[in-house]
Amino acid sequence: MVGVDPIEDRHRVARMAGIYNLRGLMADELEQSGFANRYPTPTTFVVDRQGILRYRSRGAKMPSWFREHVDPLLAEQK
């Protein structure tokens, strides 16, 4: 997970990541990274092991969404 929220929201993002047991980081330089004001938050991007974008979805997610969309990708052979 990469948090593209404003840096002052770091604690909120960390709390949400903890609720869903996600590892991640914050993109500190939003304008330079190209994410500033382009995607409403939360927007979820799921990238597979080959680096292919598999899902892009807006809005909050329940753990069931991750089980349905991410767990099968994690189960694929490395």
The larger pLDDT score, comparing residue 78 to residue 58, is at 58
pLDDT digits (tens, 9 = 90+) for 9-56: 888 888 888 888 887 777 765 566 565 656 666 788 888 888 888 998
User: Cβ distance 7 to 33 under 8 Å?
Assistant: no
Q: Give the residue with greater pLDDT, 29 vs 63.
A: 63
Instruction: Give the residue with greater pLDDT, 27 vs 64.
Output: 64
Phi, psi of 56 (to 5 degrees): -135, 120
Among 35, 36, 6, 2, CA closest to 17: 2
pLDDT at 8: 85
Predicted TM-score (pTM) of this structure = 0.54
Structure tokens at 27: 């993109």
